[in-house]
């Protein structure tokens, strides 16, 4: 039996800015999970395993397997690529919308490298979340 408790992932708050067209950007705080290569690999393998398991199950369904198998095989590859790249996973953003001025918590997900699009739930303005901590340092090409 495997240990079911998830390994502790470092959760950090990083300074960020929220910007929208025509309004000055406001300060925000983004909560991200820093995933180690091992944790990324585990999530990658799990996603691949689920999709390829479904593909394998689809093999035994007559006719439908022509569609199911290639669909789940390619879905597994897509999921694996997305998860393997999730070195910093965004959990939530707390800040003030630059358009309507409402302080709120934005629910978010997926990879967060330096910029991400968000929608304000109050005024439905498309906002751009920028990582304020790396914006200054990432300008130099590596
Ligand atoms: Zn708003």
Q: How far is the CA of 125 from the centre of ligand 1 (A)?
A: 6
Say what the pLDDT of residue 142 is. 46
Checking DSSP bridges between strand 88-96 and strand 115-119, what pairing results, if any? unpaired
Looking at residue 6, its pLDDT comes to: 55
Q: Pick the closest to residue 7 from 44, 45, 33 (CA basis).
A: 33
Contact 114, 93 (CB under 8 A): no
Residue 58 confidence (pLDDT)? 95
Q: Given this model, what pLDDT does residue 9 score? A: 72
Please give the distance, rounded to the nearest whole angstrom, from the Cα atom of residue 103 to the centre of ligand 1.
Answer: 9
CA-to-CA distance for 33 and 127, rounded, in angstroms? Answer: 21
Ion ligand 1, residue ranges at CB < 5 A? 97, 99-100, 120, 122-123
User: How far apart are the CA of 1 and the centre of ligand 1, in A?
Assistant: 48
Output the pLDDT for position 22: 86
Per-residue pLDDT of the chain (142 residues; tens, 9 = 90+): 444 445 577 899 999 999 998 889 999 999 999 988 998 999 999 999 999 999 999 999 999 999 999 999 999 999 999 999 888 899 999 999 999 999 999 988 888 888 999 999 899 999 999 998 764 444 444 4
0.85 surpassed by pTM: no
- For residue 22, the CA-to-ligand 1 centroid distance in Å is 13
Q: What is the DSSP letter of 83?
A: H
Q: 104 CA to middle of ligand 1, Å?
A: 9
């Amino acid at each position: 039996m495997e240990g079911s408790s998830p390994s502790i992932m470092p959760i950090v708050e990083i300074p960020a800015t929220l910007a929208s067209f025509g309004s000055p950007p406001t300060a925000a705080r983004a909560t991200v999970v820093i995933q180690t290569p091992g944790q990324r690999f585990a999530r990658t393998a799990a996603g691949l395993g689920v999709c390829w398991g479904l593909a394998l199950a689809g093999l035994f369904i007559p006719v439908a397997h022509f569609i199911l198998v290639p669909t789940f095989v390619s879905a597994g590859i897509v999921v694996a690529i997305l998860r393997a790249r999730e070195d910093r996973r965004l959990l939530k953003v707390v800040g003030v919308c630059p358009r309507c001025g409402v302080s709120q918590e934005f629910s978010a997900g997926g990879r967060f490298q330096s910029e991400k699009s968000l929608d304000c739930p109050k005024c439905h303005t498309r906002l751009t979340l920028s990582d304020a901590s790396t914006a200054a340092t990432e300008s130099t090409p590596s």
